A = this chain, B = another copy of it.
Amino acid sequence: MSDAAASPAVAEDEAALATPFVKCLVRLIRAQDSYGSWEGKPDAELLADFIITRQQRRAIPIIGDPDPDVLWRLDMFYTAVGLAIEERSGLMASPMMEMSHEGFGRVLFTSGRLVVLSKTLRDVHRFGFETYRKLAEAGTKLVDDALAAIEAYPDLARA
Contact = CB atoms under 8 A, between A and B. Distances in A.
A129 B153 CA distance: 37
Classify chain A's interface size: 10 to 19
A37 B98 CA distance: 32
Interface string A135-155: 000000000000001000100
A143 to B, nearest CB: 17
A156 B115 CA distance: 9
Contacts of A118: 110
A99 to B, nearest CB: 11
A96 B108 contact: yes
Interface of A: 96-98, 106, 108, 110, 112-115, 118, 149, 153, 156
